[in-house]
Structure 1
Amino acid sequence: MPTDPHLLDDLEWRGLVAHSTDRDALREVLTAGSVRFYVGFDPTAPSLHMGNLVQIVTAMRLQRAGHTPYVLVGGATGMIGDPKESGERVLHSAETVKDWVERVRRQIEPFLTFEGENAATMVNNLDWTENLSTIDFLRDIGKHFPVNRMLARDVVRSRLEAGISYTEFSYVLLQSMDFLNLYREHGVVLQFGGSDQWGNLTGGVELIRRADGGHAHAFATPLITKADGTKYGKTEGGALWLDPEMMSPYAFYQFWLNQGDAEVGGLLRVFTFLSREEIEALEAEHSEKPFLRAAQRRLAAEVTSLVHGADETRRIEEASAALFGGEPLGDVDAGVLVHALETARPLVAGAAGKTLTDLFVESGLVQSRSEARRAFAEGGAYLNNERVDDPDYVPTDADFLGGRVLVLRRGKKNFAGVSPGQPAP
């Protein structure tokens, strides 16, 4: 398969190259033919997240440009965890890490092509470390790592005063050994990862040079930050997980839809496969008519479709249009409606025998029964997007959309949901 000679230019335009080994050599290797590269994911949680998505999308770009991916899931390194600045990581059991390895593998597989001329390969570093003796590890790997260089790493230097275990201190040896093994066994000559991994990336390049006299390359993607340079915080529900069981696709979609005007262009570059012309056209339209939020809507649609599929994105957009546009809700996917409502407030459980006044108060849409009655009298109370004027109406089974949820609304944008289940004891 021919390779794309403009790949590095595109990566740089998208802001995806924060650091690299020799830039000219990197350009040469990326244009000389299909290069075998690898990117690693440590299973430190049961799901991948926004930061991992940067690496997944970058791997997709390289594969689409004609290069061959090796995706490493760290069954061994996941037992330790890369050192972080805030303190020692919690060590998880072997059973937990094994389960997370499989979860991460299943999450990554749909993003890459595992058949054809430059098919991806999935590997687990536990395969070459599980039976490695300590003596062999120290002789064959450890001897190539001067301690003064290891101490000079930013994360190690920042942890020296508070303390860092030998376990985390030696993590760089394990990740560097991964690169050496893939270089020897599979001809992998390029690794990339996040900028917080730069010391580990260059450690692998240096190990290949010292141990085998070989030449390898690396680049690091930047930490994705807001326009003011601050990090993206967690969402109200936690991290931006890719697993739909840990973060609903609706909440995922809303995260991207709610990005600021200053951030949306950069996020379109990093996380979508829109062309430069398409992105610049969106930015121009957004500059002229920011109130339309066309760039944010396209960003949310593209990234949600990538992670959760086009059909799920369509259901989300239909639910959003119906909820916020005041359209009838009878034909909207009830499951998506539940997720949409849960992003605002927890569903009220148990509606049997309760009036709409009761439910408006329990849901938090109003603070008192008298306030609820005022809302009904003033025409500001809705059930399933239809105005209701009887505060004593008791919903029936037929009112539950899809048998799952009642949608209560006060005014234009204050929503709450009610499930038919029994309230918690």
Structure 2
Amino acid sequence: MTVDLTLLDDLEWRGLLAHSTDLGALREALSAGSVRFYVGFDPTAPSLHMGHLVQVLTARRLQLAGHTPYALVGGATGMIGDPRDSGERTLNSLDTVKEWVERVRGQIEPFLSFDGENAATMVNNYDWTASLSTIDFLRDIGKHFPVNRMLARDVVSRRLESGISYTEFSYVLLQSLDFLNLYRDHGVSLQFGGSDQWGNLTAGVELIRRSDGGRAHAFATPLLTKADGTKYGKTEGGALWLDPQMMSPYAFYQFWLNVEDEKVGELLRVFTFLSRAEIEELEAQHAEKPFLRSGQRALAEHVTSLVHGAEETERIRAASAALFGGGELATLSTDTLGAALREAGSTVVDGDAGIPTVTDLLVATGLAKSKGEARRTISEGGAYLNNERVEDPELVPGDGDLIGGTWLVLRRGKKNFAGVEVR
């Protein structure tokens, strides 16, 4: 197995190293041969989101560079949840967590290779935690954790005033146990995660040193923020989920297509596998002609292809073109078209009550403020139904106009469109 000696340089250039236990020692270890590393994911929801994607892609970068991944899905830690600033988590049932474990595993697996010399391994910390007695846990693990250091952790100190349960307070012990177990049983010597996990990461390194006299490494990726400093990864509808049932691929694509100009270069580095030369070329194009949004388009296409596949990305591109008159609407998949129209704004019509006229639909969808304005738009040749110019303001769409038996696409001018869902 050939190890890529430029890995750390690439991670640094991409802005993926926020913290490291000892960067020089880590570089030496990564240069010496294939390092076994792990990254963990707690199934506290039925899907991973944008923040998790940073870790999944970083794991893929390490594996492509010749190192050996252990992807941990926390069936045990997912029963508790890492402390967060907003307060105590709602505890989920064992059956729920087990279901979410499988869903999260299924989302991680396509990004890693499970063949070859540095094949990935999936592990579940419930396997070594469920049978552990309380006495053994307190004697063998708890003994190595000074309470004063646990109290000094940022999230704990912030929660002390509002209150934190012993359950969440002790989470760091469980995550550290994971690192120790993987170190002992699998030779794993590196853990990474988000910068909000830095206290947990270093606690695992320290536990290995205290309990076994061993040496381990850790690094953290940075927290991604918008230009105004607020967290990335949230949309008006909630988190940027990877599950297509929780966030449509079209909405996912649109999120990346609409990122701020100031953040395009950073996100291209973190979320794509484009080379440095390719990214710098895109940045130069974007700086010269930002209105073309070449950086955002490349970002949306590459990330959506990684998560949802190249075929789905092509369907989204076709839908986007068709909605603006650049393609045949009837050839689009109903799911993709529906997702696109709901994202843009759609109106529901009761088919049993009869479909209104195009004039009424232009008003109902908000494409016109009044019937008078709608009629003027039609008379001036600026109204379209399913990309066909409308000439009669009293036109009533028929069943044959319903795309996929459900949808009508209205457009005013070149850029404003809306959907009508006939139920």
TM-score (normalizing by structure 2): 0.96
Identity %: 76
User: C-alpha displacement at 1:361, in angstroms?
Assistant: 3.1
Which residue number in structure 1 is paired with residue 399 of structure 2?
Answer: 397
CA distance in 2, matches of 1:346, 1:172: 46
Residue type at the aligned position of 1:136 = D
- The answer to whether the 8 A contact 2:325-2:387 is kept is no
Moved more, 358-367 or 25-34: 358-367
1:357 is matched with 359
Contact 1:375–1:410 (Cα < 8 Å) also in 2: yes
Which of 376, 379, 385 in structure 1 is aligned with 2:378? 376
Give the match for residue 212 of structure 2. 212
2:296 aligned residue: 296
- The gaps in structure 2 that reach 5 residues or longer are none
> Residue 339 of structure 1: CA displacement?
1.0
What number of residue pairs does the alignment pair up?
A: 421
Equivalent residue for 1:337? 337
Structure 2: how far apart are the matches of 1:277 and 1:78? 40
Q: Is 1:274–2:290 an aligned residue pair?
A: no
- Distance in 1 separating the partners of 2:245 and 2:350: 23
Partners of 1:341 and 1:347 within 8 A in 2: no
The aligned residue for residue 133 of structure 1 is 133
Partner of 1:343, secondary structure, is: helix
Per-residue displacement from partner, 1:370-393 (whole Å, max 9, x unpaired)? 333233223222101111021222
Q: Which residues of 2 match residues 214-363 of structure 1 at below 5 A? A: 214-232=214-232, 234-351=234-351, 352-363=354-365
In structure 1, how many angstroms separate the alpha carbons of the residues matched to 2:346 and 2:94? 35
Q: Which residue of 2 aligns with 1:191?
A: 191
How far apart are 1:419 and its partner, in Å?
Answer: 2.6
Q: Give the match for residue 421 of structure 2.
A: 419
Query: Which whole-Å CA distance do the structure 1 matches of 2:330 and 2:182 have between them?
Result: 55
In structure 1, the partner of 2:156 is 156
Residue matched to 2:113: 113
Contact 2:50 2:233 in 1 (8 A): no
The letter of the residue matching 2:68 is T
For residues 31-46 of structure 1, the aligned pairs below 5 Å read 31-46=31-46
Q: Letter of the aligned partner of 1:359 in structure 2? A: L
Amino acid in the other structure paired with 2:420:
V
Residue identity matched to 1:264: V
Q: 1:264 to 1:353 in 2, by over 3 A?
A: closer
Match of 1:50 in 2: 50
Task: Report 1:5-24 matches (<5 A).
Answer: 5-24=5-24
What SS does the aligned partner of 2:346 have?
coil
TM-score by length of 1: 0.96
**Structure 1 residue 326 displacement after superposition:** 4.7
Matches of 1:312 and 1:176, distance apart in 2:
39
Q: Which amino acid aligns with 2:75?
A: G
- Tell me how far 1:106 sits from its aligned partner: 0.8
Judge conservation of contact 1:350–1:418 (CA < 8 Å) in 2.
no
Whether the 8 Å contact between 1:39 and 1:192 is mirrored in structure 2 is yes
Gapped regions of structure 1 (runs ≥ 5): none
